[in-house]
Each structure stands twice: as structure tokens, then as C-alpha cells.
Amino acid sequence: MIGKTILTGVKPTGAPHIGNYVGAIRPALALSAAHENSYLFIADYHALNAVHDPSALRKDNYQVAAAWLALGIDPERTAFYRQSDIPEIFELATLLSTVTPKGLMDRAHSYKAAMDKNREANRDVDADVNMGLYTYPILMAADILAMQSDMVPVGKDQVQHIEFARDMAGYFNNTFTPVFKLPKHQLEKEGSLLPGLDGRKMSKSYNNHIPVFMDKNARKKLVMKIVTDSKLPEEPKNPDENTIFQLYSHFADADKINSMRKAFENGGMGYGDAKKLLLEALEKTFENPTQLYNEYMADTSRIDDLLAKGAEKARKTAHETLSKAREAVGLKPLR
């Protein structure tokens, strides 16, 4: 068991697809299981910068929580909570903003991307940019620093945010006294980018995804839709250019993956048969989780109870950190 503290946040963007599972959920579950102290939370306040539909936010929150629970997060070991249940995080964000230069926020990729988009559309650079988006990295730093995290597993697009959190911890520690641990990012493995039904990167925004949770028939229909070329079964094919094989290689056992690879290379593996094998592997992986997911979604009070317990655990740490930070700047420590 690794003694470091690991933390990650997920934005509530609804039920995951199998690309999210392989690229983000499965590795985070493995890391949580391997670390003594682990925190996993739903970043609902971060989502609020973009989602202004209360019922959509509520539903997305439950779907994401149910997904992680169904896929194996152990809430006894990992503090699993909603960001919005930890008020200490928000006070800490205010404290951090007093030592964070505005220039740092101006350099944030997400803010720059929003400005670029506006420029392209000939609009004011700050059109539709709310302060929540602008100060997104400060809240994220508070998420991370509140729990005294050592390691934050994230995708490439989030690396800058972790560097910013480290910078802010440094500004604070140097201005006052050392209160915060300096966190590091841990990058999700390259090479685990799954293609979607049409061969492009699997993404909700391309609508080419295979959801993790679905009934057998719906899953079968989607797998049958995977686009292939028109090579005949007996023709040799390159498995590395083949969506079915790429997907299969993340879900089947090593010897089965190897035999599909050989069969494609040598000729004799038709796309129809390969799809059947892929379907079997997906069913084996996701049948039980789908049932669990449906059970959680049918009784969301169970989710609320579990998240409340997680919040209790996380608040203890956040409370201690905030109290130290308050004391460091000359405010009254908390009781």
C-alpha cells in the first residue's frame, strides 16, 4: 500500500462511455485501491460554470456517482464526496485568490481557448466568459490543496491546472508559513485512447461512443455499427488499424487478444466474427456493473447516504488544512 495521498475530481457530465472507463475511470480505481489515502469527488461547482439547468445538473451528479459506485469505487476506503458538500474548499479558494497573480489566470489554457473562440467569431474576447470559468484553476487548487494531496491523476488537458495548484501552494507557503503540500500530476497512460464507432476518437461530442451501461440488445446494435472496410474474411488485415481489435484489446484476456491479432494478420478473421467476440468481452466486463448502476439510479437516497459519509471524512481533512491556513495569514484558526 502506497503511503501517499491521491486525489482526483470528475466533472458530472452524465453516464460514462467505454473510452472514459479505460482512459480515466479504470486507472483511477486502480490508483485509489493502491493508496492508503484516496479522495475522489464530483466537481459539481466546476460544472456550474457551464450548466445552468438545475435538473440536468442533479441528474448528471447522480449518474456520475452511480457510475463510479457500480464500477467499483470502495467508499469505505476512498473518501467519495461532492465538492459542494465541503464548504471549507470555497473559503480556501478565497484565501488562495489573495496570493494568486491575475496573470496566472490569464495564462490558463481553458480561458485562452474561450478567448480564441470568441476572436474567431468576431465577438468580444470575454463574451460568455463568467468569473467561475476565469477563476476555475483557483477552485481546482483549493480542491487539491485542502486534502494535502501528493498526487493527482489527470488527463493531458488538466496538467496545467495541477501546475497552477502547485504554484499557488508555493506562493502561499512562501508568503506566510508552509501549510500546503506541493502536489504533482500523474498523467493517464498514452495509448489508451479508444476509437469510436466511426474510427475517430471516441467522444460524446462526436456521438460515436459506446456507453458503459446499457442493455444487451442496445449494446449489440452499437457494436454492429462499428465502421469497417470491405475486406473479405479470408484476407489478411492490419489489427492496429482496426477499431474492433483496438477496442477488444482493452477488454479481453491477453491470450484472446493475441489470438484475434494473429487471426487478423493471417487472414481468416471476418469483421462479423470479431464483432461477436468484442460484444462478448464487453458483456463480461459491464453486465454486472450495469445491473448495479440501475439499482443505484432506482434508489438515489443510497447514493446520497454514501456521499454524505464521504463528505464527513473529507471535511475533517479540509477543516484542519483551512484552520492552519487561516492561522498562517493572521485570522483566527477554526475550532
Q: What are the residues binding ligand TRP (CB under 6 A)?
A: 7-9, 11, 43, 46, 140, 143-144, 152, 154, 158
Q: Report, in Å, the least distance between residue 152 CB and ligand TRP.
A: 5
Distance, CA of 281 to CA of 254 (rounded, Å): 12
**From the CB of 298, what's the least distance to ligand ADP, in Å?**
25
| Beta carbons of 41 and 9 less than 8 angstroms apart | yes
- Taking CB under 6 A as the binding criterion, the range among 37-45, 185-193, 215-223, 278-286 that sits at the site for ligand ADP is 185-193
Query: Binder to ligand ADP among 60, 88, 143, 188 (CB under 6 A)?
Result: 188
Q: Which does 194 bind (CB under 5 to 8 A by kind): ligand TRP, ligand ADP, none?
A: ligand ADP
Residues of this chain, 252-281, that bind ligand ADP according to CB under 6 A: none
Contact 4, 46 (CB under 8 A): no
Write down the least CB distance from residue 159 to ligand ADP, Å: 11
Among 202, 252, 263, 303, binds ligand ADP (CB under 6 A): 202
Residue ranges of alpha helices (H) inside 72-156 are 87-97, 102-106, 109-120, 131-134, 136-146
- What residues between 3 and 22 interact with ligand ADP by CB under 6 A? 13, 17, 19-20, 22
6, 15, 24, 151: which one contacts ligand ADP (CB under 6 A)? Answer: 24
Task: Please state the closest distance from residue 246 (CB atom) to ligand TRP, in A.
Answer: 24
By a kind-dependent CB cut-off of 5 to 8 A, residue 20 interacts, out of ligand ADP, ligand TRP, none, with: ligand ADP
**DSSP state string for 220-270:** HHHHHT-------TTS---GGG-HHHHHHTTTS-HHHHHHHHHHHHHS---
Rounded CA gap, 147 and 6, in Å?
A: 9
When the beta carbons of 22 and 154 are compared against ligand TRP, the nearer one is: 154
Instruction: Answer yes or no whether residue 297 interacts with ligand ADP by CB under 6 A.
Output: no
Q: Is position 55 an interface residue for ligand ADP (rule: CB under 6 A)?
A: no
> Could you tell me the smallest distance in angstroms from the CB atom of residue 291 to ligand ADP?
23
Minimum distance from residue 8 beta carbon to ligand ADP (Å): 9
Beta bridge partners of 153: 186
Question: How many C-beta neighbours within 10 Å does residue 232 have?
Answer: 9
Q: Choose the contact partner of 5 out of ligand TRP, ligand ADP, none; CB within 5 to 8 A by kind.
A: none
Integer Cα distance of 211 and 187 in angstroms: 24
Q: Which residue, 9 or 211, is less far from ligand TRP as judged by CB?
A: 9
Question: Rounded to whole angstroms, how far apart are CA atoms 24 and 9?
Answer: 11
Q: What order of strands is seen across the sheet that includes strand 2-10?
A: 78-82, 35-42, 2-10, 151-154, 184-187
Give the end-to-end CA distance of the chain in Å, rounded to a whole number.
32
| CB nearer to ligand TRP: pick between 47 and 279 | 47
Backbone angles phi, psi at 151, to 5 degrees: -135, 135
46 binds, among ligand ADP, ligand TRP, none (CB under 5 to 8 A by kind): ligand TRP
CB 142 within 8 A of CB 100: no
Residue 8 interaction partner, one of ligand TRP, ligand ADP, none, beta carbon < 5-8 Å per kind: ligand TRP
Cα 255 from Cα 253, distance rounded (Å): 6
User: Does 201 sit near ligand ADP (CB under 6 A)?
Assistant: yes
Phi, psi (rounded to 5 degrees) for 121: -90, 10
Contacts of 288 (CB under 8 A, 6+ apart): none
Q: Which does 152 bind (CB under 5 to 8 A by kind): ligand TRP, ligand ADP, none?
A: ligand TRP
Residues that bind ligand ADP in the complex, under the rule CB under 6 A: 13, 17, 19-20, 22-24, 155, 188, 192-194, 201-205
